Amino acid sequence: MTATSPTVHLHPSILSADFARLADELARIGTADAVHVDVMDGHFVPNLTLGLPVVEAIGKATDLPLDLHLMIEDPDRWAPDYVDAGAASVTFHAEAAKAPVRLARELRARGAKAAMALNPGTALEPHLGMLGELDMLLLMTVEPGFGGQPFLDLVLPKIRAARKAVDDLGGQLALQVDGGVNADTIHRAAEAGADVFVAGSAVYGADDPDAAIRLLRETAAHACAHGRA
């Protein structure tokens, strides 16, 4: 890959938005590539956020694609319903899925991109065989369940290993990171090989979220080019 113009994508997480003004908050991130929607069930992770009706409402309030991150038990049962609710991409956790290949294929068959997430403590190697079934791999850079946590640098070697595995397959798989992504950490994740970045408080904590998105994207693109030169 050349070092000139790597493609990076910014997916602001509405977990950091004002839920009482969600339509207005979505309008503030018009330059984003997608909206990252965290669905938590209070079981797989201790927090509880939102479900299918709210996802449907979000889809009606924005023209941006919805990037669903399901931090839930039994995604095999529930994940396909989120495609029907309007998700363009659905991420399930490897730690929760009972039949990940079948689930990924069903998500794709329903018209969405299929993605799988790995927690910081989950090894990459046992899941490399899944890459051919996926459109995106999400490597969590915090423990899932709460926003505002600091970026875990211990995940960087896993990102590098995932980048090599993706490149060996032809580089068609997106490599996403989620957790603690801000102007100070995004360059490390990008240099390691990530190309899709979820940012919550770094976007919604800014006076101008769209300006924050542009800065993060530019920083990531520069670091990505440097890392893959």
Active site residue 38: yes
Q: Is position 197 annotated in a ligand binding site?
A: no
Of these residues, 33, 38, 41, 67, which one is catalytic?
A: 38
The answer on whether 44 is annotated among ligand-binding residues is no
The answer to the question of whether 132 is labelled as a binding residue is no
Q: Is 129 annotated as a binding residue?
A: no
Q: Is 170 annotated as a binding residue?
A: no
**In 10 A of CB 210, how many CB atoms?**
16
Active site residue 178: yes
Residue 106 and residue 112: Cα distance in Å, rounded? Answer: 9
**For strand 174-178 and strand 196-199, is the pairing parallel, antiparallel, or unpaired?**
parallel
The reply to whether 11 sits in an annotated binding site is: no
Residue 16 annotated as part of some ligand binding site? no
Residue 59 is labelled as binding a ligand: no
- Among the listed residues 33, 67, 178, 195, the single catalytic one is 178
CB atoms within 10 A of CB 63: 8
Given the structure tokens 């101008």, which residue do they identify? 208
Instruction: Return binding residues.
Output: 13, 36, 38, 69, 145-148, 178-180, 200-201
User: Which residues are marked as active site?
Assistant: 38, 178
Instruction: Return binding residues for substrate.
Output: 13, 69, 145-148, 178-180, 200-201
Instruction: Return binding residues for a divalent metal cation.
Output: 36, 38, 69, 178
